[in-house]
A = this chain, B = another copy of it.
Amino acid sequence: MSTSLDFYFDVGSPTAYLAWQRLKQLREQYDLTINFKPMLLGGVFKATGNASPVANPAKGAYMASMDMPRFAVRYGVTLNFNPHFPVNTLGLQRGAIAAQEAGCLEEYLAAVYPAMWVDAKDMGDTEVVKSVLADAGLDAESLLAATQDPDVKAALISNTEEAVSRGAFGAPTMYIGDEMFFGQDRLDFVEERLRSAA
Does A62 make an interface contact (CB < 8 A)?
yes
Does A17 make an interface contact (CB < 8 A)?
no
User: Chain A interface residue count: which class?
Assistant: 20 to 34
**B50 contacts A180, C-beta separation under 8 Å:** no
Q: Taking A67-B182, A180-B66, A189-B70 as contacts, is the C-beta distance between A169 and B50 under 8 angstroms?
A: no
Contacts of A186 in B (CB 8 A): 67
**A61 contacts B167, C-beta separation under 8 Å:** yes
Partner among B48, B56, B188 whose Cβ is within 8 Å of the Cβ of A57: B48
**A contact residues vs B (CB 8 Å cutoff):** 48-50, 56-59, 61-62, 66-67, 70, 164, 167-170, 179-180, 182, 185-186, 188-189
Q: A61-B167, A188-B188 are in contact. List 15 more A-B contacts (CB 8 A).
A: A48-B58, A49-B57, A50-B56, A50-B58, A58-B167, A58-B169, A59-B169, A59-B170, A59-B182, A62-B167, A62-B169, A62-B180, A62-B182, A67-B182, A185-B185
A-B contact pairs, 20 of them (CB 8 A): A48-B57, A48-B58, A48-B59, A49-B56, A50-B56, A50-B59, A56-B169, A58-B164, A58-B168, A58-B169, A59-B169, A59-B170, A59-B182, A62-B167, A62-B169, A62-B180, A66-B179, A66-B180, A67-B182, A70-B189
